[in-house]
Structure 1
Amino acid sequence: MSSIGLILFYVVLIAGMWFLLMRPQKKEQKRVQAMLADMAIGDTALTTSGFYGVIIDITDDDVIVEFGNNKNCRIPMQKSAIAQIEKPGAE
């Protein structure tokens, strides 16, 4: 009986670790994917380095963000360098 109890303990421990570690990570990945799929030209983007800019072009691989007077930056979509998207006029 003690070996069955030990195996059951490990199963519960592994399930608990998955619930605490893997589930929030997958939830965050889904949030980021939905945010990137919903962005459009004219939205304000906050990069992971802390810069705000306006999205001026979106391609399949890149997002071009304007940070000032003709200061543009090409950001790869796969690297998740965009932390937050704000729609114009949204408060």
Structure 2
Amino acid sequence: MGNYGGLISLVLMFVLFYFLLIRPQQKRQRQVQTMQGGLKKGDKIVTIGGLHGIIDSIDDNKVVIRAGDGSRLTYDRAAVREVTESAPE
């Protein structure tokens, strides 16, 4: 039984590590990919740099954001952190 004790504790540590660190990170990554895939013109967003704006146009990899003073800035689609308000359908 002494030989199996070390093996059991190693497996238990791996399972604990998976459920506390790996699985939540994968879930968050799927949510971000879904959010970035569903972006559309008119959505109010926040970028990873903290810029608040409205999506003016969008293509496969880039998003043009209209900032507060009317300026238009181009960002990668992956730079969008969250959608604060979705555009009306």
- Residue of structure 1 equivalent to 2:39: 39
4+ aligned runs moved over 4 Å, structure 1:
none
Backbone CA RMSD of aligned residues: 1.4
How many residue pairs get aligned? The number is 87
The CA deviation at 1:66 is 0.9
Partner AA of 2:44 in structure 1: T
TM-score (norm 2): 0.87
Helix, strand or coil at the partner of 1:42: coil
Give 1:70 deviation, angstroms.
Answer: 3.5
Distance of 1:69 and 1:14 partners within structure 2: 51
- Written as runs of structure 1 = structure 2, the 5 A alignment for 1:2-41 is 2-41=2-41
Task: Note the alpha carbon deviations across 1:14-73, whole angstroms, 9 max, x for none.
Answer: 110111011111011011011111111011111122221010111111111111333111
* TM-score of the superposed pair, with normalisation by structure 1: 0.86
Structure 1: gaps spanning 5 or more residues: none
Provide the rounded CA distance (Å) in 2 between the counterparts of 1:73 and 1:10.
50
